[in-house]
Amino acid sequence: MISQTPTRPWVFTMVLGVVLMGLGAFIGVRPVFTHWSVLTGARWLDITFALVFIFRGWLNVKTALKRREAATREATADGR
């Protein structure tokens, strides 16, 4: 089987970043709608998970945008 590099490798990173940010937002906002119940057993752990997921998602989106810009620059330079 021949493996090919995807034509848009930044798309997966972008989708993963958005999903992570959404999950972090869900974990962070969930106590407001569930009468302050916790998801992981401790409020500090919920807040920590929310912040880590949001931060990691932001980094993924930032990286994906840089990769997309680099791919666009490369494609323009190649004349595609």
CA distances from residue 49 to 10, 26, 59 in whole angstroms, order as listed: 25, 11, 15
Mean pLDDT computed over 6-32:
92
pLDDT at 9: 82
Q: Which two tokens stand for residue 77?
A: 């330079």
CB 60 within 8 A of CB 9: no
AA letter at 46: D
What integer pLDDT is reported at residue 75 of this predicted model?
A: 77
Q: Can you give the pTM of this predicted structure?
A: 0.83
Supply the pLDDT for residue 63. 96
The tens digit of pLDDT for each residue in 29-50 reads 999 999 989 988 899 999 999 9
Report whether pLDDT(3) > 70.
Answer: no
The domain ranges of the chain are 16-74
